Amino acid sequence: MLLKNKNAVIYGAGGEIGGAVARAFAREGARVFLAGRTLATLDAVAQDIASSGGAAETAQVDAFDKEAIERHLEEVVQKAGSVDISFNAVGIPYSQGDPFTEMPLEEFTAPLAAAMQTQFLTATAVARHMAKKGSGVILTITATPARLANPNSGSFGVACAAIEGFCRQLAGEVGSHGIRVVCLRSTGSPDGPKLSEFMRQLAELEGMSREAFVARIAQKTVLKRMASLAEVGNMAALVASDYASAMSGTVANITCGEVVD
């Protein structure tokens, strides 16, 4: 198992991406602590993990609240002894579909501020705990608009680029403490119901079917497809493991070749 005896905190674990990563971590032997705002969705993921023989605990945590984040981490450390891995998959309500020239300032800046708030608070809080042990892995996720100039993607692409920049900066600051920081960059996973619905909405704005919209994105990739939720989870587990011990301050590209480095 890649993550045997590791303790992992997943923020936004009740969502599609967070849930996929939590399941992958648990499958690879990690004890997972599922954090989020809605206990019902967290409990559903925990039950799924438990039914597969994994270990999962849930906690209602506001990942935009410094005190709540730090209080939860203290509880995790008291129970498990350490935090070895963190993954932030907290969803942000980005506004997409309108060009910048028609977008109110607040509609552009509010999602940016929210994205950076949760990333900064969770990553720096867990880094302080990891520094005491001298090891740890901090992960998050972005998407192809971080590198591609996709029209009418609103503040989403700008936020993705900002998150990747933050990860590079943080990696430079905590590396001497044995902490790695890596960002995953995905195409988006159309097998997730929520993302599938969002793609349907974007497709509708362009006057096409969801299937045609997804096919158009897939056609832009080298592999002619988009990454699945399972593949996102698998990559997160691999990067969090010691097999990726030399990786930090970088982006793990799982865009199926839509972005070629």
Q: In CATH, what number is assigned to the domain containing residue 116?
A: 3.40.50.720
pLDDT tens across 29-79, in order? Answer: 999 999 999 999 999 999 999 999 999 999 999 999 999 999 999 999 999
Assign residue 154 a region (left: φ > 0; alpha: ψ between -120 and 50; beta: otherwise): left
Predicted structure pTM score: 0.94
Residue 240 lies in a domain: yes
Residue 221 lies in a domain: no
Q: What's the rounded Cα separation, in Å, for the pair 198 and 57?
A: 30
**Beta pairing partners, 184:** 141, 252
Does residue 154 fall inside a structural domain?
Answer: yes
Indicate the angle between helix axes 16-27 and 229-240, nearest 10 degrees.
Answer: 50
Identity of the amino acid at 96: Q
- Say if 125 falls within a structural domain: yes
DSSP state, 192?
S
Domain-located, residue 209: no
Q: Please list the residues that pair with 11 across neighbouring strands.
A: 35, 88
**Number of compact structural domains in the chain:** 1
- Domain of 69 in residue numbering reads as 7-188+226-254
Neighbours of 194 (CB within 10 A): 12
- pLDDT < 50 positions in the chain: none
| Structural domain includes residue 211 | no
Rounded to whole angstroms, the Cα distance separating 225 from 84 reads: 33
CB 121 within 8 A of CB 63: yes
Model confidence pLDDT, tens digit, residues 169-192: 999 999 999 999 999 999 989 898
Nearest to 135 by CA among 224, 211, 64, 241: 241
179 part of a folded domain: yes
Q: Measured between alpha carbons, how far is 17 from 192 in angstroms, rounded to an integer?
A: 8
Closest CA to 194 of 10, 12, 9, 11: 12
Let me know if residue 232 belongs to a domain: yes
